[in-house]
Chain A
Amino acid sequence: MSENMFRWEADADGIVTLTMDDPDASANTMNQRFGEDLAATLDRLEREKDSVAGVVLTSAKKTFFAGGNLDDLVKYTKADAQKVFDQSQQIKGLLRRLETLGRPVVSAINGAALGGGLEIALATHHRIALDAKGSKIGLPEVTLGLLPGGGGVVRVVRLLGLADGLMNVLLQGQQRAPKAALEAGLVHEVVDSPDELISRAKQWVKDNPEAAQPWDVKGYKIPGGTPSTPKFAANLPAFPANLRKQLKNAPMPAPYLIMDAAVEGSQVDIDNAGKIESRYFAELACGQVSTNMTRAFFFDLQAINKGASRPEGYEKHTARKVVVLGAGMMGAGIAYSCAMAGLEVVLKDVALANAEKGKDYSKKILDKAVSRGKSTQEKADEVLARITPTEKAEDAAGADLVIEAVFESPDLKKQVFAEILPHLAPDAVLGSNTSTLPITGLAEGVDRPEDFIGLHFFSPVDKMPLLEIIRGERTSDATLAKAVDIALQIKKTPIVVSDSRGFFTSRVIGTFINEAVAMLGEGAAPSSIEQAGSQAGYPAPPLQLMDELTLTLPQHIREETRKGVEAAGGTWVAHPSEAIIDRMVELGRKGRSSGAGFYEYDESGKRTRLWPGLSEEFGAATGDLPFEDMQERMLFAEALETVKCFDEGVLHTIADANIGSIMGIGFPAWTGGVAQYIDGYPGGLPGFVERARILAKAYGDRFQPPASLVEKAEKGQSLRGE
């Protein structure tokens, strides 16, 4: 075997510094070598205990330790349960030996300690973190549908108590900077320099020769109590209920099982608590949801942020000056995001007052950040100074990027581009933030269509991470490469799709809403429709979302689409939702902005209740649709439309489909995205096809699986092509 990844250096005082340095990887992870080398290192520590005064554990990598090995974790199925359980137990056994060595052990956390990294540190007696830039400390397993299976649940509960441990660390997987981790009680000290890190660690060893974990000291009690403590027990029944309320009963098992492991484990000794944790860990690691979420939020997202859909062979592009056309809600948000990334921003509107109002949007966000201590006044002023509101086209002089965000009218867009073009740098990227209008058509309005590209932002731009980049027929590879670079420059997550009406995101989300609306006419109770959406995992219930979007918007888009289909000689197949939406608009119930929609609103615009008239108008709440069907119709409608987007060449990668659907249009996170939903469906892609056929029989041909999908199912393939 090659050298041990725990480099052993003993100093004159007998303090052994163990420096983790996996020779085969850029970061230390909980791989096979880790287990073997830690065991060997513990053997030696125990053997040479008499000459060891204490241990300082640190890392030679930029990070302290990166956590579990996701390449392995993502592949586990139910058949691997024993293996996963055993591995989890093995790691716990080793970490238990470390914390019961009988010598002080200090973690010198030189960089990020996430997941397994923090779990190792929690098994040491003292944790000192270096305040390194970008260093994060926490247990983010829950965000990948997992739980900390290396003793993280057990030790956080014993360190912080059940309530604080669950709320502040385990259930949301917060990643904290070292100082915030200190405040949260996860580390004991924060230091400013690497030298100080080691010297403080060694000093602590010298000062605390008898160090032991709090839970190994006689008389220890879990802070805040356990189920056998009446005061704690009184509130305990509400723990799972509040979690359910918060997660809306979406099928995300990780938070629940974390709570289960924490509470059950609090009632037994640490080793049995560990066993309970390992059981729950194995269940999650071998389950479908962790596979879905790890694929999406780790692998797919990583691929996208590395520019997977960016054409190769073009130099990295950095935008310097952007003109944002139109200072409405979208334009204002785009201006903010660009200014935050350091771009010089010209925010142009027809009237200066509008443009200034758009700039105020940034000021409001920045003021809030300053008042909350998340930014300084100086930084906020700098960002604001980069935004120039104007009504004059000539202020765009020399800009290398345009992002047009005016009203969705092809003529208006053509006009504003014509006005600005003469003032731009000759090779400026011409971006349009349209959400539905075909880019190829808009590009006809400019004299260099190869530089024209769709940059579809999502509202509110400062919060939504996605950027849907739409390549028109004549958009060049060079422009596309620049657009991807610009997206990453302004800290957005870019997906790349080809031109089509509604592109990918707008087109697919429409099917979700239509399906929900159609159910009203089939006798579903309106609140059942909302619950079906929420319990399927959608962030907003569909009728509520529809009211927010305004009913005339999909009506308008549908009419445009219908015209397009008919102009191309096709026949328009009406969706059962159309009559309902038309009638609602006719009744003046156009959504929240009109003061009435599927919901009722009070004078202040607050949603009060579902409109009782839905029953009389459309027969809602007179029938009885199977709840599971209601949920799956929404999910399937979007998944099937996505397959069509692949078939029609609109979508090109699974990662774009998954990330675009989750980050852009609220497709449920537990699915791992709209493409992964198909592959992860019970029975895999063939199971999905079978279920689609059943839905088609019951609810209409729109659920018939496309031929491409049937073909893959017959060949036993997945959508991902594995």
Chain B
Amino acid sequence: MTEAYIYDALRTPRGRGKATGSLHATKPVSLVVGLIDELRKRNPELDQDKIEDVVLGCVSPVGDQGGDIAKTAAIAAGLPDHVGGVQLNRFCASGLEAVNQAGQRVRSGFEDLIVAGGVESMSRVPMASDGGAWAMDPETNFTTSFVPQGIGADLIATLEGFSREDVDAYALESQTRAAKSWADGAFDRSIVPVVDRNGLVVLDHDEHVRETTMEGLSGLKPSFAGIGEMGGFDAVALQKYHWVESINHVHHPGNSSGIVDGAALVLLGTEEAGKQNGLTPRARIVATAVSGADPTIMLTGPTPACEKVLAKAGMTVDDIDLLEINEAFAAVPMKLMRDLGFPHERTNVAGGAIALGHPLGATGAMLVGTMVDELERRDLRRAIVTLCIGGGMGVATIIERV
């Protein structure tokens, strides 16, 4: 059977997603072009005529990120005219979705070499800039019990009995691991510094990581108590989860994913394409799955997605060495670990989005790169990459080092 191999995985550092962030003065398309340039540089035998498509996740595809940023980046990077570009949106899993779709196209035998990834400049194009009926159309909003994700995260914590101390302790560990990863050079292979048009370095490290203490975290105010009360969203959630008397609002900026700018690319292809282009396979895609759960609580999709991808692969969690789950909010990985019975020691080993940030459309592809790196560094075999997603979805992918 045709396999889908991962030949390379690159990412930009993550800049703080606001005007004071280092990447705010860099266009989102430039983030992608910089990675395409590096991809060519690192793989000198890569015949770019053989690249068939550029598949990029982007969650707010308007303004600077609008108009099919994937093809725009392909043109801007000087890829041959026949190389396509498609932007897709599966909310927070868009980057992983891009990798999965590329992997599926390769494995189907229809195509041979695809660049997948994602980009999001959250400082340039704020979340929700693209509107959408779910939140913005009252009829849809009402009939589907829409509430913002943070309310769902707090509801998960309430239902699971995660206290404020529990989620803060998780957040602290994420920061500790991220700092250690940087100190150990764990990201060296993937990180591509962002440079300006003169070649001057704009950013070469993840700038959202910060020194954190439990005391510092405990002083932060819950982010969603206000909209829960004033916005009416607690009431909406509790009308559905009627057995819960009230929501314990435990999430705040210190234990939720950081808002950042960044991009990532993954090069996928067949064994044959690899040989022709002088590429060495690093991992293969074993299985992919998309699933979903209740859209109101919104963030419990990873569990059914992981169960589904394991079943597809004919595996159990015992066959998995590392688990990488996007840290949208601390309660999300905590719940998944509990549901799967997977230990924290082998989950998000390099630190996660609480410390590093979550550039929406790019994150999934970044996590794939992190897992490829970590499997190699730790000499392990398999990892699951998964993310919780708007609308209650979950996407999961099993990769295996080769």
Residues B235 and A245 in contact, CB atoms below 8 Å apart = yes
Asked if A233 meets B131 with Cβ closer than 8 Å, knowing A244-B232, A259-B138, A264-B139, the reply is yes
Residues A609 and B245 in contact, CB atoms below 8 Å apart = yes
For B239, the closest partner residue in chain A by CB is A249
Residues B131 and A227 in contact, CB atoms below 8 Å apart = yes
Q: Which 6 A-B pairs have the closest CB atoms?
A: A531-B242, A245-B235, A241-B232, A245-B232, A242-B232, A525-B243
Residues B233 and A241 in contact, CB atoms below 8 Å apart = yes
A243 contact set on B, CB distance < 8 A: 142, 232
A–B complex contacts, Cβ < 8 Å, 9 sampled = A228-B131, A233-B131, A240-B138, A244-B142, A244-B232, A256-B139, A256-B142, A263-B138, A527-B243
Q: Give the complex CA separation of A678 and B233 in angstroms.
A: 33
Q: Give the complex CA separation of A627 and B131 in angstroms.
A: 34
Whether A239 sits at the interface, judged by CB under 8 Å, is yes
Q: Give the complex CA separation of A379 and B135 in angstroms.
A: 50
For A227, the closest partner residue in chain B by CB is B136
Asked if A528 meets B239 with Cβ closer than 8 Å, knowing A259-B138, A264-B139, the reply is no
Q: Give the complex CA separation of A377 and B69 in angstroms.
A: 70
For B129, the closest partner residue in chain A by CB is A230
Chain A, 208-250, contact with B by CB distance < 8 Å: what is the 0/1 string?
0000000000000000000110100100111111111110110
A257 contact set on B, CB distance < 8 A: 139
- With beta carbons under 8 angstroms apart, the residue of B135, B138, B242 that contacts A528 is B242
Whether B313 sits at the interface, judged by CB under 8 Å, is no
B243 contact set on A, CB distance < 8 A: 525, 527-528, 621
Q: Give the complex CA separation of A10 and B146 in angstroms.
A: 56
Residues B137 and A241 in contact, CB atoms below 8 Å apart = no
- The range of chain B's interface size is 20 to 34
Q: How many residues from A make CB contacts under 8 Å with B?
A: 34
User: Closest Cβ of chain B: how far from A602's Cβ, in Å?
Assistant: 15
- With beta carbons under 8 angstroms apart, the residue of B131, B227, B244, B245 that contacts A238 is B227
User: Closest Cβ of chain B: how far from A612's Cβ, in Å?
Assistant: 10
Residues A237 and B146 in contact, CB atoms below 8 Å apart = yes
User: Closest Cβ of chain B: how far from A229's Cβ, in Å?
Assistant: 11
Besides A239-B138, A243-B232, A245-B234, 4 new A-B residue pairs in contact (Cβ under 8 A), listed by A number: A233-B131, A238-B233, A244-B142, A610-B245
Asked if A237 meets B242 with Cβ closer than 8 Å, knowing A242-B232, A245-B236, A256-B142, the reply is no
Residues B239 and A244 in contact, CB atoms below 8 Å apart = yes
Q: Give the complex CA separation of A175 and B139 in angstroms.
A: 26
Residues B246 and A240 in contact, CB atoms below 8 Å apart = no
Instruction: Tell me the residues in window 380-399 of chain B with beta carbons closer than 8 Å to chain A beta carbons.
Output: none
B230 contact set on A, CB distance < 8 A: 238
For A630, the closest partner residue in chain B by CB is B242
B131 contact set on A, CB distance < 8 A: 227-228, 233
A230 contact set on B, CB distance < 8 A: 129
Q: Give the complex CA separation of A525 and B238 in angstroms.
A: 13
B residues with a Cβ closer than 8 A to A are 129, 131, 135-139, 141-142, 146-148, 227, 230-236, 238-239, 242-246
B136 contact set on A, CB distance < 8 A: 227, 233, 236-237
A528 contact set on B, CB distance < 8 A: 242-243
Whether A535 sits at the interface, judged by CB under 8 Å, is yes
Residues B246 and A609 in contact, CB atoms below 8 Å apart = yes
Q: Give the complex CA separation of A525 and B242 in angstroms.
A: 8
Q: Give the complex CA separation of A535 and B238 in angstroms.
A: 11
User: Closest Cβ of chain B: how far from A528's Cβ, in Å?
Assistant: 5
User: Closest Cβ of chain B: how far from A83's Cβ, in Å?
Assistant: 23
Residues B242 and A535 in contact, CB atoms below 8 Å apart = yes
Q: Give the complex CA separation of A708 and B387 in angstroms.
A: 59
Q: Give the complex CA separation of A609 and B248 in angstroms.
A: 13
- With beta carbons under 8 angstroms apart, the residue of B129, B142, B227, B245 that contacts A527 is B245
Q: Give the complex CA separation of A228 and B138 in angstroms.
A: 14
B129 contact set on A, CB distance < 8 A: 230
B137 contact set on A, CB distance < 8 A: 227, 260, 263-264
Residues A238 and B231 in contact, CB atoms below 8 Å apart = yes
For A241, the closest partner residue in chain B by CB is B232
B146 contact set on A, CB distance < 8 A: 237, 240-241
Q: Give the complex CA separation of A505 and B266 in angstroms.
A: 71
Residues B235 and A244 in contact, CB atoms below 8 Å apart = yes
**Best-buried of B131, B137, B227 by chain A (most CB within 10 Å):** B137
